[in-house]
């Protein structure tokens, strides 16, 4: 049996070797379902962003809080098209997944970064949907987990974890009582009138590679 050592690194190198394993684990077993409703903006805590370090490839969106707002930095220009502050918590075995926000952003990457995005698109500007998550291992034992193994949009597009543009090493080993936070983002072609996305997590594996919890589906509305 192949264990989840494939999840040790969140980088590109191991992506092709684990894609089939993740997909098989998602579709051979049943997935539990959950839904997320929007929350009122006045009730949203923003402290989850305080110790997040800006991604080296993607324009920092932390100050994008109003639709049609645009910001620029050395990585490009980003315009907010839609937003949902969520702040929901999902228990997946020993893993606690907290989804903080979801945004639809139009990005014009700086010329120096166009080659980075050409792996996924040949457009010089594009829309992408991103989710900010926190994951915590509530047990004392090491686990392996990916917060988004698959993502589907209301417009019918589907993406696996290999299409993530942030590469913030959220997939993989999570030590006992440890936590991670950051963004996962996916370039979308059909972004008009986007109503929701549905994410499917990976299964949870223990340190020996044995599955200890089935994956979970979470639907998030804009």
| pLDDT digit string, tens, across residues 71-118 | 999 999 999 999 999 989 999 999 999 999 999 999 999 999 999 999
Tokens representing residue 118 in the block: 């050409």
Q: Is 105 exposed, middle or buried, given 0-12, 13-18 or 19+ CB atoms closer than 10 A?
A: buried
Record the tokens describing residue 136, joined without a space: 């915590």
The number of domains in the chain is: 1
* Weakest mean pLDDT among 10-19, 74-83, 130-139: 10-19
| Cα distances (angstroms) measured from residue 40 to each of 84, 86, 87, 104 | 9, 9, 11, 18
Residue given tokens 């974890």 in the structure block: 161
- With contact defined as beta carbons under 8 Å apart, do 133 and 97 qualify? yes
The pLDDT score that the predictor gives to residue 35 is 54
The neighbouring-strand residues paired with 85 are: 101
Look at residue 18 and tell me whether its pLDDT is greater than 80: no
Domain at 132, CATH number = 2.60.40
Q: Which one, of 149, 161, 64, 156, lies nearest residue 120 by Cα?
A: 161
Task: List, in sequence order, every residue forming a beta bridge with 105; answer none if it has no partner.
Answer: 80, 128
Are 103 and 130 in contact by the 8 Å Cβ rule? The answer is yes
The H-assigned helical ranges of the chain are: 15-28, 114-117
Cα angle for residues 66, 99, 44 (degrees, 5° grid): 45
Residues 6+ apart with CB under 8 A from 30: 214
The whole domain housing 49 covers 4-221
**Between these two residues, 96 and 20, which has the higher pLDDT value?**
96
pLDDT of amino acid 220: 95
Closest of 78, 215, 67, 71 to residue 150, by C-alpha:
215
Q: Would you state the pLDDT for residue 146? A: 98
Give 49's pLDDT tier (boundaries 50, 70, 90). Answer: confident
* Confidence label for 50 from pLDDT (cuts 50, 70 and 90): confident
The answer to whether residue 4 scores a pLDDT higher than 80 is no
What's the pLDDT band for 21 if we cut at 50, 70, 90?
very low
At 51-73, the pLDDT tens digits run: 898 999 999 999 999 999 999 99
The larger pLDDT score, comparing residue 17 to residue 44, is at: 44
Tell whether the model's pLDDT for residue 12 goes beyond 50: no
How many residues are there in the chain? 222
Average pLDDT over residues 142-161: 98
Q: What are the tokens at 207?
A: 């340190």
Instruction: Please report the pLDDT score of residue 29 as a whole number.
Output: 40
- Which of 21-25, 41-45, 133-137, 212-216 is predicted least confidently? 21-25
- DSSP state string for 145-166: E-S-SEEEETTS-EEEGGG-SS
Average pLDDT of the chain? 86
Quote the pLDDT of residue 154. 97
């Amino acid at each position: 049996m192949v264990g989840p050592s494939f999840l040790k690194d969140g980088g590109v190198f191991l992506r092709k070797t684990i894609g089939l394993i993740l997909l098989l684990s998602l579709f051979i077993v049943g997935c539990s379902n959950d839904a997320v409703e929007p929350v009122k903006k006045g009730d949203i805590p923003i402290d989850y962003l305080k110790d997040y370090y800006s991604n080296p490839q993607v324009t920092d969106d932390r100050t994008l809080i109003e639709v049609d707002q645009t910001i620029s930095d050395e990585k490009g220009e980003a315009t907010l098209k839609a937003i949902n502050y969520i702040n929901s918590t999902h228990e997946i075995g020993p893993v606690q997944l907290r989804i903080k926000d979801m945004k639809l952003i139009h990005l014009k990457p700086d010329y120096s970064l166009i080659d980075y995005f050409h792996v996924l698109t040949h457009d010089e500007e594009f829309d992408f949907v991103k989710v900010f998550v926190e994951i915590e291992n509530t047990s004392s034992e090491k686990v392996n987990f990916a917060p988004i193994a698959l993502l589907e949009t209301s417009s019918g597009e589907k993406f696996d974890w290999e299409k993530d543009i942030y590469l913030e090493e959220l997939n993989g080993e999570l030590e006992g009582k440890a936590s991670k936070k950051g963004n996962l983002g996916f370039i979308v072609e059909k972004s008009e009138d986007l109503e929701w996305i549905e994410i499917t997590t990976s299964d949870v594996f223990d340190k020996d590679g044995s599955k200890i919890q089935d994956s979970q589906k979470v639907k998030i509305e804009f």
